[in-house]
Amino acid sequence: MTPASDDAPAPAPRELSSASRRALVLGPIAGFALILLATGLFDSPAAAGFIASLAAGTFVGGGKLVILAGAVEQAPVGHWELAALVVYIDVATALVIMGGIHVLDRLPIVAKRLAAAGESSGRVLEHNPWMFRAAWVGLALFIAVPFNGTGALVGSILGRLLGLSRFSIVSATGVGSATSATALALATGIWAERIDALVGQPALGSLVIAAAVALTFLGSRLALGTPRAGEKGR
């Protein structure tokens, strides 16, 4: 779904070689495996497991908010390390999409997620036609907003619809993610004692987490628009 606009997007980027595609897909995955291995060897297996679980959490609704977990006193990894992890995951996701979308489209579960991302991107452009005129800045701002669904996956598809080059998509992802992650890490440092105190109050902590998640989903609806009836991946 591509929204109508007087500002035609740039031509599609040239095809990548098979070797380049493999490097873009396997490189970030291998890099994350090395991060886990180094953390387990030089820090602790618990820290490696913590990183792995939070990395998974970024894809299932946690997004950049997983950085807040670094404020908990018992956390084996600090909030600045988690901020760096979030940026790595966002850039890695963009690279994997750039190199492997032709393969990912054939995987049923992933293809459904990509289709939903494409629909979300289309709605974003329908509601924000100015992004065609300030594509790189618009994409960076979109990824910087810590709402559910405004991360690197939808951002990469959005960048393709805007006609940005692969380098522009990855660089905008990196800048937007780093800006947001830095802001959240600074906030986490300021609120560290309050966040840690919530751990000792499960009922209140659960209420705060639920409210935060609800706000991110509400922000997502405002940023992405409301799916039309019949759209998949809602």
Cα 234 vs. chain centroid, distance in angstroms? 17
Measuring CA to CA, how many Å separate 67 from each of 58, 125, 129?
10, 29, 32
Q: 102-116, 124-138, 189-203, 219-233 — which one is most confidently predicted on average? A: 124-138
Instruction: Work out the average pLDDT over 89-117.
Output: 76
Task: Give mean pLDDT, residues 101-125.
Answer: 67
Range 165-183 average pLDDT: 92
C-alpha 139/C-alpha 159 separation (Å) is 7
pLDDT band at 83; cut points 50, 70, 90:
very high
- pLDDT over 50 (residue 33): yes
- Binning pLDDT at 50, 70 and 90, where does residue 228 land? very low
At 2 the pLDDT is 44
pLDDT at 1: 42
Judged by average pLDDT, the poorest of 126-135, 177-186, 193-202 is 193-202
Mean pLDDT value across residues 43-72: 86
Name the pTM for this structure: 0.75
pLDDT of 129: 76
Nearest to 164 by CA among 15, 13, 1: 13
Q: What is the pLDDT of residue 230?
A: 42
pLDDT band at 126 (very low <50, low <70, confident <90, very high): confident
Asked if residues 176 and 143 have their Cβ atoms less than 8 Å apart, the reply is yes
Q: What is the mean pLDDT of the chain?
A: 77
In this model, does residue 24 exceed pLDDT 70?
A: yes
Task: Determine the pLDDT at residue 94.
Answer: 92
